[in-house]
Amino acid sequence: MKRKLQVFISSTFTDLIHERQAAVGAVLKAGHIPAGMELFTAGDRSQMATIKEWIDESDVYMLILGGRYGSIEVTTGISYTELEYDYAVQQGKPVFAVVITEEALEAKVKAYGTSFFVKENTKELGLFREKVLRNVSSFFEDYKDIKLCVHESMADFSANRDLKGWVSGDEVADTKPLFDEIRKLSEENRSLKEALSVMEKRMVALPASATDMKMKNFEELREILSAIEIKIPASISNQEEGTLSLLDTFTLSKDVLITGVTNSVGTNPTASFLYHNICPKLQVHGLIVNESVANVRYRRSSVSKLGTEFLADLEKTELLKGSISH
């Protein structure tokens, strides 16, 4: 689908008539639409309001800057040309400018007289020229430079998919089937939302899931194990005798208990303490299993499936607390 971009061409008028014609011709040859203040009248509205409206409706803004500052807008003391340029920049329009060289301006004055260079507002023109040259711009000496700049710039802008442009009605695809499909999908979406709402209301009335029940049981189990105190002998802690909750004892000893401890002869004091004093208390809550070991006379206590899930839930809870605190 070929787009035609509308290009607002801004300049002073009487001194740049031929340059504007060259720019208009180049824009048309590139397959796009030129627009400028000489192509329409302001009507009953102020000139600046009309200019802003046309800049808003254009896709690209082009400035041709010669040797004159231009007519002054009385309320701001700024030329209409500079006001147009500033407005286009403020609106985020793609902007490019062609600026006459000093040599070309001198040649023009010699050939046609002093009407082609600024007689007043010299300082303002100089500042405006500096502003323009800080942005996307190039110099021109004759019409060929202007045409070349338009050709190169419009090729770049045509590749910019963010610019909407104008499209011929003949090239616009028939959108009726698309609208019919959108309407059908909207109706299906509304029906699905209604069905989902009904299901959510039913879910509220259903009993808690097995996962929810397990999480609730884990919370109760944490409270119970936290309330049970265990005396830790000095021989185990390598310090003075102290106390820990059964929950802390379980978590601190989890690596050993997952592997398992036995009541075999020669078991180290820590493993023996865990087997005889801690494992029975945890076994009551289903967190430890005690089983015989094949071909030997001793038994082994280790973390059960429920115990493994409980430890995993503890780690998950601690991780969540850590992420929230950070």
What is the domain class of 210-325 according to CATH? mainly alpha
Low-confidence ranges of the chain (pLDDT < 50): 40-44, 206
Q: What burial letters (b/e) apply to 223-243, b meaning 16+ CB within 10 Å? A: eebeeeebebeeebeeeeeee
The CA–CA distances, whole Å, from 132 to 65, 138, 140, 249, 285 equal 9, 10, 14, 76, 81
Q: What burial letters (b/e) apply to 133-143, b meaning 16+ CB within 10 Å? A: eeeebebbeee
At residue 47, what are phi and psi to the nearest 5 degrees? -60, -45
Strands 33-35 and 95-100: unpaired
Residue 291, both tokens: 């089983």
What is the domain class of 6-168 according to CATH? alpha beta
- Alpha-carbon distance of 299 to 78, in angstroms, equals 98
Q: What is the CA radius of gyration of the chain?
A: 42
Write down the pLDDT at residue 19: 93
Fill in the amino acid letter for 37: M
Decide: helix, strand or coil at residue 184: helix
Write down the pLDDT at residue 42: 44
Residue 240, both tokens: 């003075």
- Alpha-carbon distance of 110 to 105, in angstroms, equals 9
Q: Which residues pair with 137 in a beta bridge?
A: 97
> Helix, strand, coil proportions of the chain in percent (round to 5)?
55, 15, 25
Q: Where are the beta strands (DSSP E) in 14-88?
A: 33-35, 60-65, 72-73, 78-79
115 alpha-carbon distance from chain centroid: 52
Q: Where are the domains of the chain?
A: 6-168, 210-325
pTM above 0.85, yes or no: no
Write down the pLDDT at residue 44: 46
- Alpha-carbon distance of 267 to 279, in angstroms, equals 15
